[in-house]
């Protein structure tokens, strides 16, 4: 053994404990994992996180305020502006807010949408064809086929589906949405009918509008918003477009 060899153990061995408190060393600060940052709440736009009742009341106000245009025989402007208010709120919530967009739709739901549209539209057409022709002509005036088809296929379903089956469906009970959408239809269409002269026609149209709106809400709950959208398009063609040109 050389004089430089020291068989005695190191009196100060490296240890995981410090010499003052007998506790483990803390890892150096630069080796510690950074604390998790708190998650920030998802930003939502004011127009879509507020009460959609404001949009509903605004659309009703526009429809009632433009009632003097009913006597002109051209309801297109009143319809365009009234549905336009609903469309603005619905499209804004769809593109910028918290309304879930329509993704890749299941073809089965599309078929169900067509089926439900025929299921509600064909019986109404068969049993009410004698009354629907005159009532629909009063409701839509002297529109051409292209104008009426544009309203029934594009304008009306877009506005009402995104607003009632989109915004309101996610924040209101089923029966409440059905009542609000049916009331909207009453305000929009009934002033165009001569209720005093044809009360029976007004009652039948009222019941038809209630059934249609309940069906749209049911399809929305069962098969999704795209199916409800298609249901309304099919029902519009059967209930409104066909009697308009066959009466």
Q: Where are the domains of the chain?
A: 49-64+73-246
Q: pLDDT digit of tens for each residue in the chain (247 aa)? A: 555 555 555 555 555 445 555 555 555 555 555 556 656 554 444 444 457 899 999 999 999 999 888 877 779 999 999 999 999 998 888 887 666 666 677 889 999 999 999 999 999 999 887 788 889 999 998 899 999 999 999 999 999 999 999 999 878 899 999 999 999 999 999 989 888 788 888 888 999 999 999 999 999 999 999 999 999 999 999 999 999 988 7
Compute the distance between CA of residue 201 and CA of residue 98 in angstroms, rounded to an integer. Answer: 41
Count of Cβ atoms closer than 10 Å to residue 134 Cβ: 15
Compute the distance between CA of residue 120 and CA of residue 247 in angstroms, rounded to an integer. Answer: 20
**36 backbone dihedrals φ, ψ, rounded to 5°:** -65, 135
Compute the distance between CA of residue 153 and CA of residue 107 in angstroms, rounded to an integer. Answer: 20
- The pTM assigned to this predicted structure is 0.77
């Amino acid at each position: 053994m050389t004089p430089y060899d020291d068989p005695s153990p190191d009196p100060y061995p490296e240890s995981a404990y410090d010499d003052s408190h007998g506790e483990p060393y803390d890892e150096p600060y630069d080796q510690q994992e950074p604390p998790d940052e708190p998650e920030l709440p998802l930003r939502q736009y004011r127009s879509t996180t507020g009460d959609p009742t404001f949009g509903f009341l605004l659309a009703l106000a526009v429809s009632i305020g433009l009632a003097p245009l009913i006597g002109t025989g051209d309801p297109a402007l009143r319809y365009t502006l009234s549905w336009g208010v609903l469309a603005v709120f619905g499209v804004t919530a769809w593109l910028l807010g918290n309304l879930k967009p329509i993704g890749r739709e299941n073809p089965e739901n599309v078929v169900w949408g067509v089926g439900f549209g025929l299921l509600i539209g064909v019986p109404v057409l068969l049993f009410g064809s004698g009354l629907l022709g005159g009532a629909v002509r009063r409701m839509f005036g002297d529109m051409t086929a292209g104008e009426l088809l544009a309203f029934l296929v594009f304008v009306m379903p877009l506005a009402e589906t995104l607003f009632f089956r989109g915004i309101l469906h996610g924040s209101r009970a089923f029966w409440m949405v059905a009542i609000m959408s049916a009331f909207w239809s009453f305000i929009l269409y009934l002033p165009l009918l001569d209720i005093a002269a044809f009360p029976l026609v007004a009652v039948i149209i009222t019941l038809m509008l209630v059934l249609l709106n309940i069906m749209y809400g049911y399809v929305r709950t069962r098969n999704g918003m795209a199916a409800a959208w298609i249901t309304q398009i099919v029902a519009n063609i059967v209930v409104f477009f066909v009697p308009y040109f066959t009466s």
